[in-house]
Amino acid sequence: MGAHVLIFPIPISSHVIPMIDLTQLLLTHGLTLTVLVTPPNLPLFEPLLQSHPSSAIQTLVLSLPESSLAPSPANALAFINSHSVLRDPIADWFKSHPTPPVAIVSDFFLGWTNDLARDLGIRRVAFWTGGAGDFSEATALFRFMPKLEGMDENSLLTIPNVPNSRKYPLWQVTPMYRGFKEGDPVCEFFRKSMLGNIESWGAMINTFAELERDYIEYLKKEMGHDRVWAVGPLLPPVDDQAAPTKRGGASSVPVEEVMGWLDSKGDDSVVYVCFGSRFALPSPQVSALAAALDSSAVSFIWVLKENEVHAIPDGFDDRVAGRGFVIKGWAPQVPILRHRAVGAFVTHCGWNSVLEGVSAGKLLLTWPLGADQFTNDRLLVDELGAAVRFCALANRAEPDSAELGRLLAESVGSGKPKERARVKELSKAATEALKGGSSSRDVAEFVKQLVEESINEGSGGHC
């Protein structure tokens, strides 16, 4: 059996999915894993558990207080912090285990596990489910705490010390920082937890060198060592046809139906529109996007949430019949993006979607809504030249549907050749990173260092 590692995701779907992919990857390197899950998230791990022997992977199922089980924008920090109640149960399990873990790999929202690992005499590795640019910005914000007094929502905030002199209007800065209240126990605990990421023994990031080299190197300097491993993009293997359709949950429509519809379309002729699992467009923006899709004459797949459907104009379905495929609920995004017929992807720039779109080599049309999405938009459009800015408005604003329609029409076929060529280059780099390239080497180096230090400790060494 390989070195024993505890995997600790936070139960937010956009965080759990890459953690499942990371767990699968680490299993292929011979580690023995225990995954800490809360009962509602256990089904997401079932396919992984069923495909590996119990000698390789086990679960530690721990429950949160009932009051912690409903995250929302209003209680985001309290929900994240609430997972610290699991500290004592984890420590008790660790002390009673015949072969306890030598390391904890935990979500970046769980930075308090660095103190837990130190108390247990083991290593903590932060897993950043987003990009290295986001990691860099969050580290800088909560480390240097730039003042916001006197700023309005359009004032520009420069992120201290981060490469490429990134600056944003205040309304685009994460609300976890904008709403920070000095001295508030919830805010202060969260800040300490975030700083725990750069104080950890190491960090793994769901990215690859060609995409974010500047920020990976910055983080190594901030952490004071080279134990920063870019291990992405974490995605189901291209040659595993079943895995992508199960990723994150069951599709709201039969996968075969979606694939059959795409099979009937020409290469690069379809626009895929999806804003992820957490963010919904306000009604005026749904209406404007519907009008743009209607007027553009492009074929499209549009993934809608339940609270967006009511804003679709009357008669829309009839007008787009044959060229429009509307999915209400969860969509099999990875196989859709990998299909030859999809030529462009209207995305909110959530990091999972960014990596899925880039890896598939699709032209990205960016429409960030919050969280790290403006950071990712800046990387893709301004720094890499691999995407087209589709919409970047505050939530209350209504976009120009005619302009959106024009961009949609230009995005299919061979449209936007410069950005399309650049994203194809990054797609190739992503594949190479995973097949013996930089990400493969980083994963192997992580395992090597972990195992070597564990052996040294067993011979009388120390952390």
Look up the CATH number of the domain holding residue 439: 3.40.50.2000
Both 378 and 442 in one domain: the answer is: no
Q: Report if residue 242 sits inside a domain.
A: no
**Same domain membership, residue 441 and residue 393:** no
Q: SS3 for 318?
A: helix
Query: Read out DSSP for 131-159?
Result: -HHHHHHHHHHHHH----TT--TTSEEEP
Q: Are residues 205 and 319 in the same domain?
A: no
Asked whether the beta carbons of 7 and 33 are under 8 A apart, the reply is yes
Q: 69 and 208 share a domain?
A: yes
Amino acid at 77: L
CB of 10 closer than 8 Å to CB of 84:
no
How far is the C-alpha of 255 from the C-alpha of 273, rounded, in Å? 17
Residue 307 in domain: yes
pTM above 0.75, yes or no: yes
Whether 57 and 138 map to the same domain: the answer is: yes
CA atoms of 348 and 183, how far apart (whole Å) = 33
Please check whether residue 420 lies inside any domain of the structure: no
- Written as one letter, the residue type at 383 is E
My answer on whether 55 and 136 are in the same domain is yes
**Residue 240 domain flag:** no
Q: Do 380 and 274 reside in the same domain of the chain?
A: yes
Are 88 and 415 in contact, with CB atoms under 8 Å apart?
no
pLDDT of residue 101: 97
Residues 11 and 126 in one domain: yes
Q: Look at residue 175 and tell me if it is in a domain.
A: yes
* Per-residue confidence (pLDDT) for residue 460, from 0 to 100: 40
**CA geometry: angle 248, 249, 250, nearest 5 deg:** 145
**Do 272 and 177 belong together in one domain?**
no
Q: What is the pLDDT of residue 349?
A: 96
Question: pLDDT tens, position by position, for the chain (463 residues)?
Answer: 689 999 999 988 889 999 999 999 999 999 999 999 988 889 889 999 999 999 999 999 998 876 555 556 567 888 899 999 999 999 999 999 999 999 999 999 999 999 999 999 999 999 999 999 999 999 999 999 999 998 998 999 999 999 998 899 999 999 899 989 999 999 999 999 999 999 999 999 999 999 999 999 999 999 999 999 999 999 987 765 555 545 555 667 889 999 999 999 999 999 999 998 777 888 889 999 999 999 999 999 999 888 788 888 888 888 988 899 999 888 999 999 999 999 999 999 999 999 999 999 999 999 999 889 999 999 999 999 999 999 987 666 788 899 999 999 999 999 899 999 999 999 999 999 999 999 999 999 999 999 987 776 654 444 4
Same-domain status, 310 and 190: no
Q: In this structure, is residue 338 part of a structural domain?
A: yes
- What is the model's pLDDT at position 277? 75
Question: Cβ distance 125 to 104 under 8 Å?
Answer: yes
Query: Which residue range is the domain that position 154 belongs to?
Result: 4-234+435-458
Owner of token pair 């992984």:
48
- Residue appearing with tokens 């399309």: 420
Residue 351 and residue 328 in one domain: yes
d(CA 385, CA 418): 8
In a domain, 428, yes or no: no
3-class secondary-structure state, position 401: helix
Could you give the number of structural domains in the chain? 2
